[in-house]
Amino acid sequence: MNLERSCGILCHISSLPGRYGHGTLGSEAFEFADFLKRSGQSFWQVLPIHPVKPVTCYSPYDSSSTFAGNTDFINLEELKEFSWYSDDIVAGLQEKDTQFCNFDEISEINHYRLKLALQLFLTSASAEEKNSYSTFCKNNKYWLEDYSLFSSLAAYFKTDDWLKWDFGYARRNSSQLSKWKTDRKDEQEFYKFTQYLFYHQWNKLKKYCNEHGIKLIGDIPFYVSFSSSDVWANNDIFQLDKKSSEPVDIAGVPPDYFSETGQRWGNPLYKWFSGSRLNSSVVDWWIKRIRHLTQVVDIVRIDHFRAFESYWAIPATEKTAVNGEWRKGPGIKFFHEVQKALGDLPLIAEDLGMITPEVQELRDRLNLPGMKILQFAFDQNNKNPYITHNIRNSNCIIYTGTHDNNTTNGWYYSDELSWDNKNYLKRYLGINHDHEMHKLMIREAYKSVADVVLIPVQDVLGLGQEHRMNTPGTLNDKNWSWKLKKGMLTIEHELYLNEQAQFYNRTLYP
């Protein structure tokens, strides 16, 4: 993929300043797109947009489906465009302009009100609206049927850990599932309908962004959650015990910058090979997955790209990720199969962590832009691959930090960075002060040779460490919950970003 010299901002949908507790696909999303346009930005990067779970603090990387959308992002007020809408859907909603999301409360409120929306749709929708819904269900049947079935069962058994369901449902007994589909049709209809509403609003937002020169960058996690419709409906493509259906080995990464004991993610591993050949069932499922996301966003960031070359396998009995082994991934053959099916794709490789020459070779053979993180650059090593004088290939994306890093000011002004490294950074930047470090680092990113600069919105605002999005390897109730408050992004931020984009030749429009 060839990128032009440009810039953008990383901000998840939940982090938008929604009126009722977190961001949605309503007016706040369109206003943010307008802000990007006025600021000279060309990209809006979001985190995975799938349903989230309370058990992992609503991490967007732990979802019940890799195809479904997070229906808590549905803006209830925007439903007024439909003929069946009633003010009862939003009656009594209390505005909450908070700094952090209350996911539990929002989910409960939305569930009740979307149930009402479904009843109004069934009784009052026009023939055209019902036809639109039927078309959506037909076009997405390949994942929507399993997702709605899984969701109705998870609601009944009060858990999405499908191994805790009655045996026949857990093992997909055909006669039991057939009876469930008939007896619980209304419940499944709810999950189909809310997916229709999510994608209706998402597609409107994407269209608006594209018409205003903004491209959406989405995120595809390499692994999926065990407690998901993906694994429940596709046991054969994962490395599971034949008798218990439990993973024998699980996913994660060995000790690294983020954690001394590594990260034990717990996801099931793919059954990449059938003998010495690629497993066509796994490849076909991945092709459906990538095709789906490329219809939803303009560019796809492959999280944990290195696992396509080799992946860290941890025995499920281990409490940490220290004891594991590297196993070969599907490599270039996988991408050849994807290209045969889908053609050349707009992909970004998240090539962070323990990156070997083999991973770099795979990325370069595919001509994929990788990622450079400025917070990783200043360790007094003049050969550090993240420091700007060593970024010689422009085919990359440079960040001050990502959703897994501290904010830039949090990183610099805390003890996360040693005094020696702080002095090294000041010397590198050619300064004898450390005021507004976020702006100094943004400038360093903007003037680099990297084709694209992406800045977390917290760094645009110059916020401290209490505003970071996620601390990897932890189940902190503040993880993933940070959000903008109304009015935080001002015309001063607009003018500042636009000036940087213009000065460093990163704006793609007048």
Catalytic residues: 303, 350, 404
Distance CA 344, CA 335 (A): 10
Query: Which residue, 510, 504, 393, 385, is CA-closest to 455?
Result: 504
Q: What is the dihedral of CA 455, 461, 467, 468, to 10 degrees?
A: 10
| Tokens found for residue 91 | 């009656």
Query: Which residue, 440, 446, 436, is CA-closest to 504?
Result: 446
CB 46 within 8 A of CB 491: no
Query: Which residue, 343, 352, 329, 333, is CA-closest to 403?
Result: 352
141-157 vs 174-183: helix crossing angle, rounded to 10: 80
508 secondary structure, DSSP code: S
Q: Is the dihedral of CA 356, 362, 364, 368 positive or negative?
A: negative
Distance CA 11, CA 13 (A): 7
Distance CA 82, CA 353 (A): 47
HSE-CB for 372 with a 13 A CA cutoff: 29
Residue count of the chain: 510
301 secondary structure, DSSP code: E
CB 447 within 8 A of CB 374: no
Name residue 119's amino acid: Q
187 secondary structure, DSSP code: H
| Tokens found for residue 509 | 């429009």
Environment class of 404 (CB within 10 Å of its CB; exposed 0-12, middle 13-18, buried 19+): middle
Strands 452-456 and 396-399: what pairing? parallel
CB 7 within 8 A of CB 41: yes
CB 481 within 8 A of CB 415: no
Query: Which residue, 445, 493, 496, is CA-closest to 7?
Result: 445
| Tokens found for residue 403 | 């959703």
CB 311 within 8 A of CB 265: no
185-211 vs 103-124: helix crossing angle, rounded to 10: 100
